[in-house]
């Protein structure tokens, strides 16, 4: 497949994503892990208020935002560090889903005020930052720094006392808890799937 990188480390690269999105059709989409239909009941439990202000981290051209919007979650701010995909998603949804916001932004340096969101969602974005070469048990310093910065920024922009960071990944707890265990927060882990397991981490501020 032309869209696949020559090396997994390229998933970390803004240049790779810009090139990939530039080459894809205007209506192309790609979703990591579970579809919204498979996790919607869990999302309803975590986010019972359809008016919640939601931050979608590394939105890409996933269908997650549009499916949540069509399910009643209208207040979603989508960010990605590829301006190419942000422009495409703005064009795609401008008429049918006008309340959605699309911004070019790095998840490690969020340009929002403290306590700005009720919920933040990461569906595989942190995983892309973990694709550097190295021992998964002893990741490179850059991977640790990037993941720590994402989580610290997310905790900062979530409302204190009620905020929820929802992270869907295939990463097992012994590889992910180190980044998600923070002071004044609680962490819940849900295991999804029967044969190949995914994990839903819910960090409450």
Q: Domain-by-domain residue ranges, the chain?
A: 39-204
CA 35 and chain centroid, separation: 13
3-class state of residue 50 by DSSP: coil
pLDDT in tens, 117-159: 999 999 989 998 887 666 667 888 999 999 999 999 999 999 9
**pLDDT for position 136:** 67
Question: What pLDDT was estimated at residue 55?
Answer: 98
Judge contact between 45 and 78, C-beta under 8 A. Answer: no
Match 């929820």 to its residue by tokens: 164
CATH superfamily of 39-204: Vaccinia Virus protein VP39 (3.40.50.150)
Nearest to 122 by CA among 146, 92, 99: 146
Kindly report whether the global pTM for this prediction surpasses the value 0.85: yes
Question: 10 Å Cβ neighbour count for 100?
Answer: 23
Burial class (CB in 10 A: 0-12, 13-18, 19+), 187: middle
pLDDT digits (tens, 9 = 90+) for 68-121: 999 999 999 999 999 999 999 999 999 999 999 999 999 999 999 999 999 999
């Amino acid at each position: 497949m032309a869209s696949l990188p020559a090396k997994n480390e390229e998933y970390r690269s803004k240049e790779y994503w810009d090139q990939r999105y530039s080459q894809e059709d205007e209506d192309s989409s790609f979703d990591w892990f579970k579809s919204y239909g498979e996790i919607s009941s869990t999302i309803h439990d975590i986010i019972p208020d359809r008016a919640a202000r939601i931050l979608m981290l590394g939105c890409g051209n996933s269908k997650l935002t549009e499916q949540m919007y069509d399910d009643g979650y209208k207040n979603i701010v989508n960010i990605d560090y590829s301006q190419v995909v942000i422009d495409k998603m703005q064009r795609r949804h401008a008429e049918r889903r006008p309340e959605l916001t699309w911004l070019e932004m790095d998840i490690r340096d969020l340009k929002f005020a403290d306590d700005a969101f009720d919920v933040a969602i990461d569906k595989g974005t942190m995983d892309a930052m973990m694709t550097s070469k190295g021992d998964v048990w002893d990741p490179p310093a850059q991977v640790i720094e990037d993941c720590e910065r994402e989580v610290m920024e997310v905790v900062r922009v979530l409302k204190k006392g009620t905020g929820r960071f929802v992270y869907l990944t295939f990463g097992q707890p012994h590889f992910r808890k180190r980044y998600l265990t923070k002071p004044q927060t609680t962490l819940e882990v849900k295991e999804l799937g029967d044969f190949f397991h995914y994990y839903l981490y819910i960090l409450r501020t």
